[in-house]
């Protein structure tokens, strides 16, 4: 959004941070995709195991046994992961809804085309049914020939 120089600045605009919702949504989808992988589970397991081992046996322990700081960090990670996953799911639901609408429109168009082609085929069948075929013309000629031949004999 470009600012207009002929109008005063809106104070509320300056106080709020500016962010691109689309870029934030894409980032949340990437994070949610990563959180749903086995690689993330392995990384978290290794991280927690190293953390607990370090604080159990190392001489410098920054988070002793109840591991309160680790619990706090895992809670913080979960509190951010849940909304990011929900945001990614909402974006996917929006994409699915748009795809559904496009599919429905295409299906309606296909149905209309099928009905049109069905009517055209029916019209062609009726037209063909009214046309004289070679066999019909032969049979009529034979019948006329027999009539003419029979009328000559009388």
What digits encode the pLDDT tens for the residues 112-121? 999 999 999 9
Q: CA-CA distance, 88 to 29, in Å (whole number)?
A: 5
Position 152 pLDDT exceeds 70: no
In a domain, residue 96? The reply is yes
How far, in whole angstroms, is CA 50 from its chain's centroid?
Answer: 41
Are the C-beta atoms of 87 and 25 separated by less than 8 Å?
yes
Are the C-beta atoms of 55 and 67 separated by less than 8 Å?
yes
**pLDDT, tens digit, 9 for 90 and up, residues 89-134:** 999 999 999 999 999 999 999 999 999 999 999 888 888 777 777 8
Are the C-beta atoms of 51 and 70 separated by less than 8 Å?
yes
Structure confidence at residue 71 (pLDDT): 96
Total of domains in the chain? 1
Structure confidence at residue 36 (pLDDT): 86
Domain holding 134, by residue range, is 11-153
**pLDDT, tens digit, 9 for 90 and up, residues 8-36:** 776 665 567 777 888 888 988 999 999 88
In a domain, residue 3? The reply is no
Q: CA-CA distance, 114 to 107, in Å (whole number)?
A: 10
Structure confidence at residue 153 (pLDDT): 59
Closest CA to 27 of 71, 70, 86, 88: 88
In a domain, residue 4? The reply is no
The pTM score is 0.57
In a domain, residue 95? The reply is yes
In a domain, residue 38? The reply is yes
Are the C-beta atoms of 25 and 91 separated by less than 8 Å?
yes
């Amino acid at each position: 959004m470009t600012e207009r120089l002929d109008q005063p600045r809106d104070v509320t605009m300056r106080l709020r941070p500016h962010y691109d919702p689309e870029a934030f949504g894409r980032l949340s989808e990437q994070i949610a995709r990563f959180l749903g992988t086995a690689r993330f589970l392995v990384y978290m397991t290794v991280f927690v195991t190293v953390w607990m081992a370090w604080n159990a046996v190392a001489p410098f322990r920054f988070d002793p046994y109840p591991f309160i700081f680790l619990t706090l960090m895992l809670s913080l990670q979960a509190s951010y992961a849940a909304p990011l996953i929900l945001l990614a799911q909402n974006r996917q639901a929006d994409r699915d809804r748009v795809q559904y609408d496009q599919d429905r429109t295409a299906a309606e168009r296909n149905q209309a085309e099928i009905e049109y082609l069905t009517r055209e085929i029916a019209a062609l069948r009726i037209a063909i049914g009214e046309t004289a075929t070679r066999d019909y013309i032969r049979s009529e000629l034979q019948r006329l020939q027999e009539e003419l031949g029979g009328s000559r004999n009388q």
